[in-house]
Structure 1
Amino acid sequence: MAKAKAAAPTSSGGKAAKKKKWSKGKVKDKAQHAVAVDKVLYDRIMKDVPTFRMISQSILIDRLKINGSLARRAIQHLEKEGQIKRIVHHSRQLIYTRATASSD
């Protein structure tokens, strides 16, 4: 009798027999952003970024494929040079725009 009870759950069908297959989900590839500035990247930052209408750390990361610390340094450098001007300073989210001759 004990043998019959032990064998019953293994041969039962229905919900207990089918396990849910969990989806693996989509895996996003890790971005290979630049971590150091070379001459080509520096020239691109100095030429392109001051023409952007809105400049923030996340925008530089997306468009120039650089990491966050490089984006912050590039923004600081451009602000010191007077090529961009700050419009919003909220905690660590700094938003800049291009410096125009009429705004100075």
Structure 2
Amino acid sequence: MLRSVLFQPPKDAKGKGKDSGKSKKDKDPANKSGGKAKKKKWSKGKVRDKLNNLVLFDKATYEKLNKEVPNYKLITPAVVSERLKIRGSLARAALQELLSKGMIKLVSKHRSQVIYTRNTKGPEEEGAPDIGQ
């Protein structure tokens, strides 16, 4: 008699425990397997195209530098490098040359940023198109 008091009867397998488990799985599709959560997949990141900029001027690029760059409103080594597809060091040297010729005008000089603009006046600039273009 002592034995029957200590042991409880087994729980009903059809009871609400199994139904609530099904409804929980139906609500959350991530827990279908009931095991571990899926491992995070890391993104590969964005791939940039490698720039193939010129190290030295060819004839066409040098003519383009002398013809177009003095007409830009804002002239920086970064702008010239991007538009003419040349290295930044080459762009800095080219802008120094244009400045010495008087084709462009210095606006601001700092050790990390140099800003130039077009030269609106000056007899050195021959055959330059009007600003309205």
TM-score range, shorter chain: 0.7 to 0.9
The residue that corresponds to 1:95 in the other structure is 115
Which of structures 1 and 2 has the larger relative contact order (alpha carbons within 8 angstroms, sep 6+)? 1
SS at match of 2:52: coil
Q: Looking at CA atoms only, which structure, 1 or 2, has the larger radius of gyration? A: 2
TM-score (norm 1): 0.80
* Long gaps (5+) in structure 1: 1-11
Aligned mates of 1:69, 1:58 — CA distance in 2: 10
Query: What is the TM-score with the length of structure 2 in the denominator?
Result: 0.63
Matched, 1:73 2:93: yes
Amino acid at match of 1:68: G
Is 1:14 equivalent to 2:39 in the alignment?
no
- Count residues with an aligned counterpart: 90
Question: 1:1-104, aligned counterparts within 5 Å?
Answer: 13-15=35-37, 18-101=38-121
User: How far is 1:94 from its partner?
Assistant: 0.4
* Regions of 4+ moved over 3 Å: none
Structure with a larger share of its residues in helix: 1
Between structures 1 and 2, the one with greater strand share? 1
Structure 2 gap segments, 5+ residues each: 1-33, 123-133
